[in-house]
Amino acid sequence: MTWKEEDNNKSSQYIDWIRGFYNSMAPFVSSGPRAAFVNYMYFDLGVMKLVSTSVQPEDAVEIARLWGEKYFLKNYDRLVRVKTLIDPNNVFRNQQGIPPNSQTVTKQRNKE
């Protein structure tokens, strides 16, 4: 969602409108599974703080499952495994990204 800079003071009004629209459409969309459009970040689904000391790394995969399964449906666990192999240090991240499984990373490091 975008708006002109001079309308920044109306941002909460615009966000409330889109939330209302989203909620009014809920009865007309698939109810199983509920899904999200992958090219739009639905912050109402939840976000991962990019720098967070309150979230243990082993909990990140389960926290991200809230939105991960809505965006990627049954592919979420497979994408976590790929993320763990390709980017175990979570260098490429965003607020609704897929985190690596830190338990798997720890096990791999212990084997080395």
> Known catalytic residues?
40
Contact 41, 95 (CB under 8 A): yes
- From 94, 46, 99, select the one nearest 70 (Cα to Cα): 46
Tally of CA atoms within 13 A in the half-sphere of 102 that contains its CB:
11
The alpha helices in 35-94, defined as continuous H runs, are 57-72, 76-86
